[in-house]
Amino acid sequence: MGRRGFSVAIIDLDPQRSLDVFCGLSAAEVSSTLVKVLSKDFHGEWDLVSVWESSKIQVCQGHPLLAEMANELVIRKRGEYALSDRLKNYPLPHHLIILDCPATLGMLNVNALAASTHVLVPVQLEMKAISGSAELVEWCISTGDELQLSPRPPILGFVPSMYDDTVAMHRQYLEQLPEIAEHLHLKLYPKVRNSNEFKNASAHGLPLQKYRPKHPASKDFKQITDDLVALIKEKK
């Protein structure tokens, strides 16, 4: 998205600080992370860090204390809408805001859903993961209804990930995904192949498109990017 001229903010809701690893960032002081943003005394002082030598891509870092903040939000008034309220009262200027969520569904995920305009669901080609992704779709629908989100953020689609065409199970599940996606009335994006270069890029704190721009897997995200660009232009 940055290469197409759009500014992007990535907000890390994961107490494990997964974005720090992916972006090659050092751990931040708690006062410079999402914990501060969600605290009661936040007044718009977003502390964003530019990454990948680009002023267009910025990160709001996560912190282990997000786990404690999640517990606090459970009993706070409008706790489910804390992030949504921050983004409405102190909006970020970026074209696109990506909310990176923890794998375990909890209050942080509820906050992400309440603040989202769209949801993208990655799917690993394993039975447990496929079942979990289908359950995530149902969770988004039921939780969105409970929160009375209007409109409820639509799900952009499934993204088959870590596909290895040498693994028979992957080929089998990939063949079954169109039927599952159709049953759930979801778009199925092209597969994202499994490659050690993703791990190598992450180890260097870089996206594959910057680490190995000519690698074939760099093009696996094109359809997603095209759809996001279309949504941004539509909003304008």
DSSP string, 77-136: TTGGGHHHHHHHHS----SEEEEE--SS-SHHHHHHHHH-S-EEEEEESSHHHHHHHHHH
> What is the average per-residue pLDDT within 117-124?
94
Predicted confidence (pLDDT) per residue in 146-163, tens digit = 999 999 999 999 999 999
pLDDT band at 141 (very low <50, low <70, confident <90, very high): very high
Please write the tens of the pLDDT for every residue from 39-79.
Answer: 999 999 999 999 998 899 999 999 999 999 999 999 999 99
Domain chopping of the chain, boundaries: 1-116
Percentage, residues of the chain above pLDDT 90? 85
- pLDDT value at 236 more than 70: no
Q: Residue 199: is its pLDDT beyond 70?
A: yes
Domain covering 1-116: architecture: 3-Layer(aba) Sandwich (3.40)
